[in-house]
Amino acid sequence: MMEYILDIIKEYQGVMAVFSVFSFVVFVSGIVLVPWIVCRMPEDYFIEPVRKKQRQGSILFRVVTNIAKNAAGAGLILLGFVLLFIPGQGLITIFFGVMLMDFPGKEKAAQWLLGLEKVQGSLNWIRRKNRVSPFRFKGF
């Protein structure tokens, strides 16, 4: 059995190397980018109503952009699923994919997630650690 596993590893050595490098990049990006993004958001970000971007450009550009964004999100979700079974940051990759996509109920799910005390505490811990004023949340 062990020989069989080692043979598979040898056969797919290149693929495993690519996934390992990608996993490392996602891991380091998560460590660097998440605090950077959280600390640059305004403290009332979760209280203000959702800010819709000004619709600029032609309808064709907006449609193509939306399709590309959803396709990239779906690709990240699929890749994250694969990374769940090999060494990698599968859950983080799936999370980024979901956040990139547009789908009905996404805003409601985000508000539910933000209603959890542990999520609020984690976000404010990152901000405290970087000497940034804490977030204010709806109803809290």
Identify the DSSP state of 116. S
What average pLDDT score do residues 63-83 get? Answer: 88
What average pLDDT score do residues 7-25 get? Answer: 85
Share of the chain above pLDDT 90, in %: 14
Confidence of residue 51 (pLDDT cuts 50, 70, 90): low
Q: Does a structural domain hold residue 49? A: no
Q: Which has more pLDDT, 6 or 54? A: 6
Computed over every residue of the chain, the mean pLDDT equals: 82
Tell me what pLDDT residue 105 has. Answer: 86
Same domain, residue pair 74 and 128: no
Same domain, residue pair 95 and 113: no
Same domain, residue pair 127 and 140: yes
Same domain, residue pair 112 and 91: no
Half-sphere exposure of 119 (CA within 13 A, CB side): 10
Same domain, residue pair 67 and 126: no
What angle, rounded to 10 degrees, do the helices at 13-40 and 59-83 form? 120
Q: How far apart are the first and last CA of the chain?
A: 56
Tell me what pLDDT residue 48 has. Answer: 67
Same domain, residue pair 89 and 112: no
pLDDT surpasses 90 at 128: yes
Interior CA angle at 120 toward 117 and 125, to 5°? Answer: 120
Tell me what pLDDT residue 129 has. Answer: 93
**What contacts 108, CB < 8 A, 6 or more positions away?**
none
What average pLDDT score do residues 33-40 get? Answer: 86
Tell me what pLDDT residue 64 has. Answer: 92
CB 74 within 8 A of CB 7: no
Q: Which has more pLDDT, 73 or 31? A: 73
Confidence of residue 8 (pLDDT cuts 50, 70, 90): confident
The CB density around residue 110, as the number of other CB atoms within 10 Å, is 14
